[in-house]
Amino acid sequence: MGDAFYSAIKLTTGEEIFALVYADDVEGEEILLMQTPVIMKVINTPAGSLLKVKPWMTLPTDDLFVIRLDKIVTMSEIKDENMIRIYTNYVEDCAEDSEYEEEVKSSQEAKITSKMGYISSVEDARKLLEDLYKLKDTKES
């Protein structure tokens, strides 16, 4: 596997992808390995420009994708430290989220019971609210 570099890639489908890329040769065919490819979109607001980052493919759990060079229109190596920082922060956040989800799935400490969330029965709550808002009959009212 060759050296890794950050790249913006334009595919023949029209998609623009940002990823950490490795060039490789498999059985005489050159391919790119893209690690955690994302789509970045600039959103202009009155407060300034924002960068929306979302995964290129949402369903797969893999983070490494193979693409043939004939599917690429153009690609450019990205050396802008801000873009790279945004990408790496996104990748780290995704890794932390998936670790947290695995912890929650494997955790058996919190067991839901039928009593959780209830502070009273419906009849008790109704009586409490009626008593709270019931006006006393007075000559002034």
pTM of the model: 0.62
Check residues 109 and 43 and name the one with the higher pLDDT.
43
pLDDT tens readout for residues 16-75: 999 999 988 777 778 889 999 999 888 898 988 888 888 998 877 788 888 888 899 999
Domains in the chain, CATH or no CATH each: 4-106 (2.30.30.100)
Q: What is the pLDDT of residue 79?
A: 93
Q: Which of 19, 52, 21, 25 is nearest to 38 (CA)?
A: 19
- Contacting residues for 40 by C-beta, under 8 A, at least 6 apart: 16, 18, 51, 52, 53, 83, 86, 87
pLDDT tens readout for residues 60-73: 778 888 888 889 99
User: Percent of the chain beyond pLDDT 70?
Assistant: 77
Check residues 83 and 25 and name the one with the higher pLDDT.
83
pLDDT at 115 over 70: no
56: number of CA atoms within 13 Å, CB side?
25
User: 9 with 72: CB under 8 angstroms?
Assistant: yes
User: 33 with 26: CB under 8 angstroms?
Assistant: no
User: 32 with 67: CB under 8 angstroms?
Assistant: yes
H or E element that contains 104: helix 81-106
Mean pLDDT of the chain: 81
User: 128 with 119: CB under 8 angstroms?
Assistant: no
